[in-house]
């Protein structure tokens, strides 16, 4: 079930809110657990048992770790178990395909379907088990509370990756208030608008341009720009909705995006993009490997291991691995060669970052390496395509206003202006009043778009 669907907005969520707020506080987690399982079952009937297995398995691992004197063996067993399930359902056919290619074998592919959200809930449960092992959190002995943590529907299928230690106290006891609930509603509507009014429509543009026969160099650049904007507003919009829903139910999830397309270096970009994932790899892979407190050779090794895994986490295909290694190389070069230059020349750094991010998402979006190579050739004029065609001009004019709006919306410009205006007493009350009207209008627009349009994908369900 998508957050950006009529069934969720006008059936599932209102019924859940009603049930949640009429029961006593000690039953609220049970209500959330039941509805979260229903939410997951709506989209994943066949493999819901994997989610249930993950809950039971890691609940027991946590208690076992806390009581045992053989913590390292238990931790190793828990990591192998969690990663093994993920590897089988997400990567087994990737390995079989590559074995067949390398050794000229004919091993048949397995009929395996990847469960929705397995990458996200596996990383959440791994962080819980590792944190229990390190003594950073105590194992949760209340099964239904732990199950609620793993299943919590706002972040279950597409993040952000919420660590147990960040919401452990709120699982036991959390405060509900009108101000927090209203903050959640506004954040949810902003994310919903990002997804439906920007990401979906920009996605239509890239799909149209990929399908036209009159290709041009500029057309391929517009595809790269529109896809980058689509995936940003798609995923950041989903994260906004997840954080907003968390607020409605008394949880405070950490931010997952901080205007990454405003970054002035690739290092800065990854401090702003998918923060919960990059911080996960930093804390559970990079630092345990020694981080940057090792020899240069080992540090380079650590960087490439982390970014190889980051790319592979996104999908069982070589383009994702190359995407990750592409960023590894850029981060090394920034650290050792031109990082200081970028810090001194912010405008150059911003142009450099946007260009490389556009190229990275071309790599990210293609279905095969050959398709990616062809796209790059078109992008940089190594084919015989014209610079521009009348058909491409037509679509740029049709979507031009939205492209400009989305580019502005990807920066902190408008929030900063509103923040400055709110510091003036007379204007603050007026803006607060207009905000209510603004959110109502956004919700009505989103609803009308959802009713009229059948194009409502969510890119990160692939991962």
Out of 314, 345, 350, 384, the active site residue is 314
- Nearest partner of 185 among 125, 117, 241, judged by Cα: 241
User: CA angle, corner 32, sides to 30 and 36, nearest 5?
Assistant: 120
- Nearest partner of 164 among 129, 134, 118, 117, judged by Cα: 129
Number of residues assigned to the chain:
463
In the chain, the largest separation of any two C-alpha atoms, in whole Å, equals 75
Which residue in the block uniquely carries the two structure tokens 């004919």? Answer: 106
Angle 13-22/28-43 helices, nearest 10 degrees? 160
- Cα 31 to Cα 11, 15, 16, 22, 34: the distances in Å are 16, 11, 8, 10, 5
Q: Is 350 a catalytic residue?
A: no
- Residue 441's H or E segment, with its range, is helix 425-452
Reduced 3-state DSSP string for the chain: CCCCCHHHHHHHHHHHHHHHHHCCHHHHHHHHHHHHHHHHHHHCCCCHHHHHHHHHHHHHHHHHHHHCCCHHHHHHHHHHHHHHHHHHHHHHHHHHHHHHHHHCCCCCCCCCCCCCCHHHHHHHHHHHHHHHHHCCCCCCCCHHHHHHHHHCHHHHCCCCCCCHHHHHHHHHCCCCCHHHHHHHHHHHHHHHHHHHHHHHHHHHHHHHHHHCCCCCHHHHHHHHHHHHHHHHHHHHHHHHHHHHHHHHCCCCCCCCCCCHHHCCCHHHHHHHCCHHHHHHHHHHHHCCCCCCCCCHHHHHHHHHHHHHHHHHHHCCCHHHHHHHHHHHHHHHHHHHHHHHHHHHCHHHHHHHHHHHHHHHHHHHHCCCHHHHHHHHHHHCCCCCCCCCCHHHHHHHHHHHHHHHHHHHHCCCHHHHHHHHHHCCHHHHHHHHHHHHHHHHHHHHHHHHHHHHCCCCCCHHHHC
- Supply 268's token pair: 């800065």
Which residue in the block uniquely carries the two structure tokens 């009350």? Answer: 429
Residues annotated catalytic, as ranges: 314
């Amino acid at each position: 079930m998508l957050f950006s669907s009529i069934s969720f907005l006008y059936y599932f969520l209102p019924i859940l809110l009603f049930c949640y707020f009429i029961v006593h506080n000690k039953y609220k987690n049970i209500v959330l657990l039941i509805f979260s399982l229903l939410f997951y079952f709506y989209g994943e009937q066949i493999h819901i048992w994997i989610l249930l297995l993950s809950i039971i398995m890691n609940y027991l691992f946590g208690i076992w770790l806390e009581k045992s004197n053989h913590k390292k063996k238990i931790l190793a067993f828990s990591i192998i178990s969690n990663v093994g399930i993920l590897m089988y359902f997400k990567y087994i056919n990737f390995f079989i395909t590559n074995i067949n290619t390398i050794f000229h074998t004919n091993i048949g592919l397995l009929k395996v379907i990847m469960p929705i959200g397995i990458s996200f809930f596996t990383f959440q449960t791994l962080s819980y088990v590792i944190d229990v092992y390190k003594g950073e959190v105590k194992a949760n002995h209340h099964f239904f509370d732990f199950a609620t943590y793993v299943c919590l529907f706002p972040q279950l299928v597409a993040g952000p990756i919420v660590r147990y230690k960040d919401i452990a106290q709120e699982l036991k006891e959390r405060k509900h208030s009108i101000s927090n609930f209203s903050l959640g509603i506004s954040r949810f509507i902003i994310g919903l608008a990002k997804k439906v009014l920007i990401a979906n429509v920009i996605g239509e543009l890239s799909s149209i341009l990929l399908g036209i026969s009159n290709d041009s160099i500029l057309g391929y650049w517009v595809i790269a720009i529109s896809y980058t904007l689509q995936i940003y507003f798609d995923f950041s919009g989903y994260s906004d909705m997840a954080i907003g829903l968390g607020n409605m139910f008394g949880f405070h999830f950490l931010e997952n995006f901080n205007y990454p397309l405003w970054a002035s270096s690739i290092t800065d970009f990854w401090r702003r993009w998918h923060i919960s994932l990059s911080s996960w790899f930093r804390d559970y892979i990079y630092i345990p490997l020694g981080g940057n407190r090792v020899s240069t050779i080992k540090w380079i090794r650590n960087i490439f291991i982390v970014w190889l895994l980051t790319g592979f986490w996104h999908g069982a295909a070589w383009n994702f691995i190359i995407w990750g290694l592409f960023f590894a190389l850029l981060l090394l070069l920034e650290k050792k060669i031109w990082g200081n230059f970028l810090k001194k020349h912010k405008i150059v750094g911003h142009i450099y970052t946007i260009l490389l991010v556009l190229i990275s998402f071309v790599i990210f979006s293609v279905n095969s390496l050959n398709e990616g190579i062809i796209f790059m050739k078109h992008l940089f004029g190594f084919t015989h395509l014209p610079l521009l065609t009348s058909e491409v001009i037509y679509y740029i004019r049709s979507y031009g206003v939205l492209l400009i709006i989305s580019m502005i919306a990807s920066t902190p410009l408008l929030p900063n202006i509103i923040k400055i205006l709110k510091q003036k007493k007379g204007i603050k009350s007026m803006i607060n009043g207009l905000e209510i009207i603004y959110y109502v209008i956004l919700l009505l627009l989103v609803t009308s778009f959802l009713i009229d349009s059948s194009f409502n994908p969510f890119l990160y369900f692939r991962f």
